[in-house]
Amino acid sequence: MGAVSPADVERRYASVREALARDGLDAVIVSGSEYSGFEGAVRYLSGFLIVHRYAYVLLPAEGESSIVFPSEARYVGEHGTTWVDEQVFVEAPGAWLRDRARERGWHRVGVYGLDYVMTVRDYRALADDGLELVPYDVEFDLARAVKSDEELSSVRESVRINTEGFRIFLDDFAVGRSEAELLAPCEQYFVEQGCGRMTMDMVLVGENGEAEPEFRIASPERPIREGDLVLPSLEIAGPGGHWVEVSRAIAAGGEAPGPEARRMLEAYEEYFEAARSALRPGASAHDVHRAVSKGFADRGYALGHVTGHSIGMTMIEFPKIGEGVETELAANMVFSMHPHAISADGHACLYMQDTWLVTPDGGEPLAGLPMRIFDGSQSPPRT
């Protein structure tokens, strides 16, 4: 995936500016940090990938954009990769943003990342001047939710890399190997394919054919045992910067999954078919949630994580696929779907991930993996 074309940059800016005009805002400040998955909004508007500390992109409703870095860490990435001409290095980015707003006579500014990403010192500098700061996570995400053909090419490349990572995990899977031994070749492949640090890979593991619901870092000390159910949670962004999530469960030692896992798999099979028709233009996120979660609810399972969410250059974007979310879906939206089914006693779960594309004909699962629990002796088909 090469550099973003000028036409796609203009499309991104125009979509965000349309939202600013609708909401009566003078500009938007987009926050990003090096925490995996939280760097993407800055990259989306600037082409710059944060590898250390944090940065902001300022996009006015009218005029040129700026990218702002803290001067205590001047080399926080490859600055030549950004298409933004005005690159600012200052001791206090919040104070610089405040002064720019004052110079331009702005009154209302949206902030993406106000609750989770923006540093406290920068918020205080902005808020102390009487500038109205408007939380703008949902609105910004909705402005970028529909992907261009150029973006979809990046999404498909990320899915290809992630799916191949799962195949590597499955091909190497064996009783006696540690969790870390199994994930290490995946991480090596991801880095070789251009993901860099943009991976977030964990495992859910349990004995007697039932995986425990807690995510954890793969251990170099715990070996896989016969009867374990292993769920590698593979989440990566390829060289184009678009995050995806693809994974399946594996039963160790040729053992069958436990009874709870088998019932959860039945619900997963129903979800997978329901998503094909539910993920269509005009459907609400609430309606999709009801359709894909029905099989789990009918069996009495709680869902310990959101059913799904829009995914792009930030790992988790709006809209969520969930109860009461009335956002209407449109063609070329991309969603990560991963119902986190948890048993009534809280000790067993199933968590399998797919990246879906909304098309005029319904949902398209991009990985091409069958919805099943593998037993460690099969390799998934290559598409």
Q: Summarize pLDDT for 268-327 with one digit per residue, the tens.
A: 999 999 999 999 999 999 999 999 999 999 999 988 878 999 999 999 999 999 999 999
For residue 259, whether the previous peptide bond is cis, meaning omega lies within 30 degrees of 0, is: no
pLDDT digits (tens, 9 = 90+) for 16-27: 999 999 999 999
Integer distance in angstroms from the first to the last C-alpha of the chain?
A: 20
* 100: confidence class by pLDDT, cuts 50, 70, 90: very high
Q: How many CB atoms lie within 10 A of CB 380?
A: 18
For residue 239, whether the previous peptide bond is cis, meaning omega lies within 30 degrees of 0, is: no
Those residues with Cβ within 8 angstroms of residue 127's Cβ, 6 or more apart along the chain or in another chain: 133
Q: How many angstroms separate the CA atoms of 208 and 195, rounded?
A: 35
Q: How many angstroms separate the CA atoms of 152 and 312, rounded?
A: 10
Looking at residues 193-216, what average pLDDT do you find?
94
> DSSP label at 376?
S
Q: How many angstroms separate the CA atoms of 93 and 119, rounded?
A: 10
In angstroms and rounded to an integer, the radius of gyration of the C-alpha atoms of the chain is 22
Q: How many angstroms separate the CA atoms of 306 and 133, rounded?
A: 28
Helix (H, G, I), strand (E, B) or coil at 33: strand
Tokens found for residue 219: 């251990």
* 219: confidence class by pLDDT, cuts 50, 70, 90: very high
Looking at residues 62-78, what average pLDDT do you find?
89
Strand pairing report for 354-359 and 334-337 = antiparallel
Residue found under tokens 């610089």: 96
Strand pairing report for 108-112 and 132-135 = parallel
Please state the three-class secondary structure of 116-162 as a single string.
CCCCHHHHHHHHCCCCEEEECHHHHHHHCCECCHHHHHHHHHHHHHH
Question: Cα-flanking dihedrals φ and ψ of residue 305, to 5°?
Answer: -145, 165
- With pLDDT > 90 as the criterion, what percentage of the chain qualifies? 89
pLDDT digits (tens, 9 = 90+) for 349-371: 999 999 999 999 999 999 999 99
Residue 248 pLDDT more than 90?
Answer: yes
Task: Tell me what pLDDT residue 78 has.
Answer: 87
Helix (H, G, I), strand (E, B) or coil at 255: coil
Strand pairing report for 202-206 and 132-135 = unpaired
By residue count, the chain amounts to: 383
Helix (H, G, I), strand (E, B) or coil at 334: strand
Task: Tell me what pLDDT residue 382 has.
Answer: 53
Task: Tell me what pLDDT residue 44 has.
Answer: 97
In the sheet that holds 229-233, the strands lie side by side as 202-206, 229-233, 250-251
User: Structure pTM?
Assistant: 0.94
* 3: confidence class by pLDDT, cuts 50, 70, 90: confident
Q: Residue 246 is which amino acid?
A: V
Task: Tell me what pLDDT residue 76 has.
Answer: 74
Handedness of CA 61, 63, 64, 70 (dihedral sign): negative
Domains of the chain from N-terminus onward: 6-143 (3.40.350.10), 149-365 (3.90.230.10)
Q: How many angstroms separate the CA atoms of 84 and 298, rounded?
A: 51
